[in-house]
Structure 1
Amino acid sequence: MSLLPVCGPEGPVRTAPAAPHDAAPAAVRAVLFDFSGTLFQMGTYADRIRSALGRPVDDATMDRMLSGLEAGLSDPHVIRAQRARDVSSRAHRHAFTTWYASVPELAPCAGALYEQLQAPEQWVPYADTGTTLTRLTHAGLALGVVSDVGWDLRATFAHHGLDGYFSAWVHSYEHGTEKPDPLLFHHACRELGAGPSETLMVGDHPAKDGGAVGAGLRAYVLPAGAAPGSLRGLDAVLRLAGLS
């Protein structure tokens, strides 16, 4: 992620002192992971819609509904509902059900679509999620989850046998704020007993996950576009942690 320095109206507010050229970075002792798009991904919206409606949907109708969801992202009412959506469970539900209901055919099942979002079985780990977590844990690194989300993720990880790798769970809705607020990253570091300079944040959102740099952490942003169940490129995390 590319981040700008903290600036005021007339330029930088403060500048950190330059580190000596020969100063080695601290060893990585902890790794924080985002959830959706980083370790897990959902199935397709087409499959979710068919399940929520409980009936067959022809291709033309499905294309129209999917196009409607895309168009809904530009709807001012939907846009307003997304603001601060991850600061509470209520705001999160409102944001998503408002978007789903922007498509008339989906309005009756907006609640069911949101329930799918929370259902552990709807989420699929990427093909390299388990092996990466295993390698990091066996190397003695502490792991945590830091996610902008509206519900507790532990049940989803447990459903897939992946909850035991983590010692810190930081859900935005429980803290009333969203990434890149340093509060979330620093809370996770304290839970893991690692300093920010010893911690790597891994995610897929340049501003939110990359914002960990502003909190004193290192950050790695994964490229977009990985299909559910595919390799996510998490081998890069192993290299950044000094394991390969």
Structure 2
Amino acid sequence: MTVRAVLFDFSGTLFRLEQDESWFNDLTDDFGASWDPVAQTELMRRMTAPTGQIAELSPEYQEAWDKRDLDPLLHRKVYLEVLRRSGVTDSQAEGLYARLIDPDCWTPYPDTVETLRRLHDAGIRIGVISNIAFDIRPALERVGVSELVDEVLMSYVEGVIKPDPKLFLRACERIEVDPEQALMVGDSVEADGGAADVGCRIAIVDPLPTSERPDALLSALADNGLPEAPA
């Protein structure tokens, strides 16, 4: 069946929270040494992992972790705890968390804008579906693509998280396509792959640093018969 719509995940798919050395300038370990690049990378992974268990948590914080993308207060509570358990002080955790939820700190992948523009120009409907507890629309506005996107569904607004089929069905209903006519592009088989249960096609991209993933979105389109890069 012809693809009439493409649904995109946000974190690790269209945008990425990139590691910025300046964020770690005041971070030191128990011996007063600065955090090394490997430790910094692990901390960023813990801040952006879409699924899985990233730290040992008490029952109180485990419940907050399980529901983090449904409630901004729970999201803040549990991520501050994760950062503290990772060896970050309270004040440092507050600073890092502020960057996590700041749309201006998120970097688009090199082909994000081109991908969305080609789909829009081809008359393909576009949706963004994100398990997230803060407003991502300013990030889309900042790079000039908000007018290209037909619908943005955020879990904390919708009250449901991927891979729950209700979220994918709701997205398809809002952009007025049957699930069988939609392609879901994301970075998590566990979360984004749930779209297959309602009949969508699936394309999974690797959430690499933006400098290491120049054209995965365009390749996903080409693999599914959608507008390709010009020769």
The answer to whether TM tops 0.5 is yes
Of the candidates 70, 76, 82, which is equivalent to residue 57 of structure 2?
A: 76
CA contact (8 A) 2:6 2:182 kept: yes
Partner of 1:92: 75
Task: Tell me if structure 1 keeps the 8 A contact 2:151–2:174.
Answer: yes
Q: Aligned residue for 1:37?
A: 12
2:219 partner SS: helix
Q: Which residue of 1 aligns with 2:113?
A: 130
Q: Is the 8 A contact 2:131 2:154 kept in 1?
A: yes
Distance 1:155 1:101, change over 3 A: same
Query: Which runs of no fewer than 5 residues in structure 2 stay unpaired?
Result: 47-52
Higher mean C-alpha displacement, 101-110 vs 124-133: 101-110
Instruction: Report the Cα distance in structure 2 between the residues aligned to 1:133 and 1:186, rounded to whole angstroms.
Output: 21
Indicate the residue corresponding to 1:219 in structure 2.
Answer: 202
Equivalents in 2 of 1:202, 1:68: separation in Å?
25
Using structure 1 for the length normalisation, give the TM-score.
Answer: 0.78
Structure 1: tracts of 5 or more residues without a match: 1-25
Paired with 1:38 and 1:160, the residues of 2 have a C-alpha distance of: 15
1:46/1:100 CA distance change after superposition, 3 Å = farther
The one-letter code matched in structure 2 to 1:172 is S
Task: Name the structure 1 match of 2:155.
Answer: 172
Does residue 1:61 correspond to 2:34, yes or no? yes
Q: For residues 208 and 105 of structure 1, do their structure 2 counterparts lie closer, same or farther at Cα, with a shift above 3 Å needed?
A: closer
Shift of 1:143: 0.3
Q: Following the alignment from structure 2 to structure 1, what is the Cα–Cα distance between the partners of residues 120 and 181? A: 16
The higher radius of gyration belongs to 1
Shift of 1:104: 4.4
Corresponding letter in the other structure for 1:228: T
Give the secondary-structure state (helix, strand or coil) at the position aligned to 2:77: helix
> AA paired with 2:54?
L
Name the CA distance, whole Å, in 1 between partners of 2:54 and 2:20.
15
Question: Residue deviations 1:148-204, cap 9 Å, x none?
Answer: 000121111111212111111110111222101111111111111111010111000
Letter in 2 for 1:29: R
- Aligned pair in 2 of structure 1 residues 165, 88: CA closer, same or farther (>3 Å)? same
Q: Distance in 2 between matches of 1:173 and 1:121?
A: 19
Aligned counterparts of 2:55 and 2:104: Cα–Cα separation in 1: 30
Matched, 1:242 2:226: yes
TM-score by length of 2: 0.82
